[in-house]
Amino acid sequence: MSKPIFKRNSDHLPDDCRPGFDMLYVLGDKWTVPVLGALRRDGRARFSDIEKALSISQRMLTLTLKTLERDGLVRREVFASVPPRVEYELTERGRSLMNSLHELTGWGFANHEGVEESRRRFDAGSV
Amino acid sequence: MSKPIFKRNSDHLPDDCRPGFDMLYVLGDKWTVPVLGALRRDGRARFSDIEKALSISQRMLTLTLKTLERDGLVRREVFASVPPRVEYELTERGRSLMNSLHELTGWGFANHEGVEESRRRFDAGSV
DNA sequence: CTGAATCCGTTAAGATACTG
DNA sequence: CAGTATCTTAACGGATTCAG
């Protein structure tokens, strides 16, 4: 009965490359990567712990986690205790996704200096 | 004298991983990947050709190309002919960035079926 | 008390259209 | 083809309310 939380998707891409790039538009929002990163680092974490670690709003953390759970990247577990407790952890799929980012982040670390330089030059006096 | 076109960036990430993930927030907007993909496939292309190939609005294509030029991923060349002609092509940096996406797109093709299944299950009866 | 849901606000992405 | 000027929609944040 639910539906996608965020509207950004890969519908504007040609059919044959849509599945390959679909996840890029999930990762490309503001909080998906930080949340996945926190869960990978800490293993299992409570909602409130992630919230404080990232200084993310409660609302955005809820929406981001729900999207990740929907995609099967994060597993959610509720404990009917008092006070209530909700814990999250990466699924195997979530872990493999994070690993598949190594090549891209490697590019980032290797090229960010060149990109910054290019931006400075462009912003200074175009040409 | 110029400035970033799009406001999305990696400022919300911790300092030590910001350079690695910065480009993700460039690639994550709607038109960057399609434009880079078209240029990689066609080599060198005119503005109007890309426009028609992607059914992107003139405005968004201008903004996207300017951002890519600013980052040194695309080279812009103007021909003072009649009618005027402007051509674009990937730089070496742009090509290497596209190559660094292989791991992620590979993950996408390998996992999109599982993700879609997870989404269907979640949307059907949350639990 | 935690975390989800909801209302309301702001900002930016993106489309369309017109100008030069 | 670039610039500008709306317009619409969505992302995001803040605050409140509600349920367990």
**Predicted confidence pLDDT, tens digits, chain B (127 residues):** 678 999 999 999 999 999 999 999 999 999 999 999 999 999 999 999 999 999 999 999 999 999 999 999 999 999 988 788 999 999 999 999 999 999 999 999 999 999 999 999 999 875 4
In CATH, B18-124 is 3.40.50.970: no
**Other C-beta atoms within 10 Å of A119: how many?**
17
Tell me, what amino acid is at A77?
E
The pLDDT of residue A20 is 98
pLDDT at A7 over 90: yes
Q: CB of B15 within 8 Å of any CB in chain A?
A: no
For the record, the structure tokens of A71 come out as: 């995609």
Q: Pick B71's closest partner by Cβ from A13, A29, A118.
A: A118
The pLDDT of residue B11 is 96
How confident is the model over A60-81, as a mean pLDDT? 96
**Other C-beta atoms within 10 Å of A3: how many?**
9
Beta strand segments in A1-127, E: 44-46, 74-79, 85-90
B126–A2 C-beta distance less than 8 A: yes
Cα-Cα-Cα-Cα dihedral sign, residues A118, B78, B88, B26:
positive
Give the span between the Cα atoms of A36 and A64, in whole angstroms.
10
CA Rg value for chain A:
18
How confident is the model over A66-88, as a mean pLDDT? 93
pLDDT at A127 over 50: no
Residues 34-93, chain A, touching B (beta carbon < 8 A) = 34, 37, 54, 69-72, 93
Distance, angstroms, CA B119 to C1' D10?
Answer: 21
B123–A3 C-beta distance less than 8 A: yes
pTM of the model: 0.93
Indicate yes or no: strand D within 7 A of the C-beta of B86.
yes
Chain B residue whose CA is closest to A124: B1
The pLDDT of residue A69 is 97
Chain B residues with CB under 8 Å of A90 CB are none
H or E element, residue B107: helix B102-124
Q: What percent of chain A has pLDDT over 70?
A: 98
For the record, the structure tokens of A19 come out as: 């599945």
The pLDDT of residue B78 is 93
Contact by Cβ (8 Å): A35, A50: yes
